Amino acid sequence: MVTWTKKSSQPLALYLPANTTFFYNWTDTSAYENLEINKISVINSQEPTAKIAELKNMLQNGFLNVREVIWFKLENSEDDNFLLRLDKAEQTAKWLADNRPEYNYLLVDDSVVLVSSDAWLPNNYSDQAKMDLATNNLGMGVNIFWSKNEAPSFLADLTKWLKIETGLPNIYANIYQQPDGQVNMHIWQPKLRQIINASSTVEWPNQANFPLNADLVFGFGDHATEEWQNIVSQNIIQPLLTDLPYYRLSATKMEEQVLKNNFIFLSGDKWLMASAEDWQSRIKDWVPNLKLKEARNRLPDGTVYTEFVSDDGLELESLKYQQYDYWHLGQFYGAQIGPYYYLSNNESLIQATFVTKYNIQSYLGLCQIAGDYKIIDLVQVNSAKIKNEVIKKALLDQDINNLTVLSYENNLQIGFKACLR
């Protein structure tokens, strides 16, 4: 009679010591053999790839038995440590001890081996409290955890771009490739318990209507960084919204009226913007050749002065489509649909918005976030339709034909997700 030992099914990350400040988890063999992390330029995969090469060289033929790998570091230490889930774990640990004495080993479970360049950790492992993960990492692709205060060098650029701030230093990431080739990257931080809201369901902007067949959908919440605003304004707003009189708006006006709480739909030369605020209160800043009139006012000290203000005689034209009301002013058309306000340079686009069954979330496809969440910022683009040749070439050169990036928030975490195909 042969008795097989029961293999551990516990997530490998739960074997990590509590003072872990960084780990990089390849959840299966395809994660280090096939996953195109280089497609995501914000993460440099050179160092993680070198660690896999180091393990292959260390284990030789034994690497064929490896099913999962975690590379990790501990607080106040630069030593590399590994957890391996593998077949024939006991046999492999014995072979390593006999043939690779420059490392230190410990069989921590029936199918899990600890490998460390530091003798202290294997000798004291059983006495160490284990890591309490704030969230369940996905059991696919690559999982990464790091402290933004001790970010590994290959994650420095990504950490610099992350402007999420929840009072906690810890950052989580998951990167995996779908069967159709789409690469998904999800990065998030957990919130402190005292700032978790009772409900995270927020209509704006998730339920704002948008017609189908957009070339580009993008938008922003009210916290976009200056770097992000400059990139969007110079490389997207100005080249793509050719009919938008952005030249009439100061940088402050652009920030307040276009780059905050506004989501934009583009199809050819037609555009549609959705906002939580009424466009009518802002539209007179936008109309070319708007007439001005003099207004005489008096300061508190009695001084009389003259200023030029928009001619309030300019009136909106009221229009109707089926049972829906909308308005027209200059080259702009606007409407209120439910709690949202829309502005477009095309009348048919406004009319199509009344009857569409699709909202902003419909454009996320397989890039949705599980559970309730509020979209903060969004870019969803067909690379071939981008008019800015520099951006188009940069995406197509990386074989990125479709790109979706969104930042979001719910009652547990804040983060962003990118999907590239």
Q: Write out pLDDT tens, residues 126-151.
A: 999 998 876 666 788 999 999 877 78
What is the Cα–Cα distance from 84 to 32, expressed in whole angstroms?
Answer: 13
User: What whole-number distance in Å separates Cα of residue 350 and Cα of residue 325?
Assistant: 10
ω into residue 205 within 30 of 0, thus cis? yes
pLDDT per residue over 277-306, tens digit each?
Answer: 899 877 776 765 545 455 566 666 666 555
pLDDT exceeding 70 applies to what percent of the chain?
Answer: 74
Between 179-183, 298-302, 372-376, 409-413, the lowest mean confidence (pLDDT) is in: 298-302
Structure tokens at 197: 């809201």
pLDDT value, residue 407:
86
For position 2, what pLDDT does the model report?
Answer: 38
Band (pLDDT 50/70/90 cuts) for residue 73 is: very high
Higher pLDDT, 34 or 166: 34
* Neighbouring C-beta atoms of residue 254, cutoff 10 Å: 18
Provide the whole-model pTM. Answer: 0.80
Please provide the average confidence, as pLDDT, over all residues in the chain: 80
b or e along 28-50 (b: 16 or more beta carbons within 10 Å of the residue's beta carbon)?
A: beebbeebebebbeebbbeebee
Q: What is the rounded average pLDDT of the residues 18-43?
A: 80
Q: Is 77 exposed, middle or buried (0-12, 13-18, 19+ CB in 10 A)?
A: middle
What is the pairing mode between strands 374-382 and 340-344?
A: unpaired
Sorted by where each begins, the domain ranges of the chain are 12-190, 216-420
Look at residue 413 in the predicted model and tell me its pLDDT. 84
- Annotate 258-289 with b (16+ C-beta within 10 A) or e (fewer): bbbbbbbbbbeebbbbbbeeebeebbeebbee
Query: pLDDT digits over 2-28, tens only?
Result: 334 445 568 899 999 999 999 999 999
Which tens digit of pLDDT belongs to each residue from 148-183? 777 888 887 777 666 555 566 788 999 888 888 788
Q: What is the mean pLDDT of residues 335-363?
A: 93
Q: Is the pLDDT of residue 246 over 50?
A: no
Longest CA–CA span in the chain (Å) reads 106
- The top-scoring range by mean pLDDT among 2-16, 174-188, 260-274, 333-347 is 333-347
Tokens in use for 215? 């070339």
Q: Tell me which of 190-199, 224-233, 331-340 is least confident.
A: 190-199
Task: Say how many C-beta atoms besides its own lie within 10 A of residue 13's C-beta.
Answer: 21
Please state, in angstroms and rounded to a whole number, the distance separating the CA atoms of residues 52 and 69.
9
| Bridge partners of residue 329, in order along the sequence | 332
| Residue 241 buriedness (CB in 10 A; 0-12 / 13-18 / 19+) | middle
- The predicted pLDDT at position 235 comes to 63
pLDDT range class, residue 335, cuts 50, 70, 90? very high
Structure tokens at 275: 């906002």
In the block, which residue shows the tokens 């402290």? 147
Binned at pLDDT 50, 70 and 90, residue 267 comes out as confident
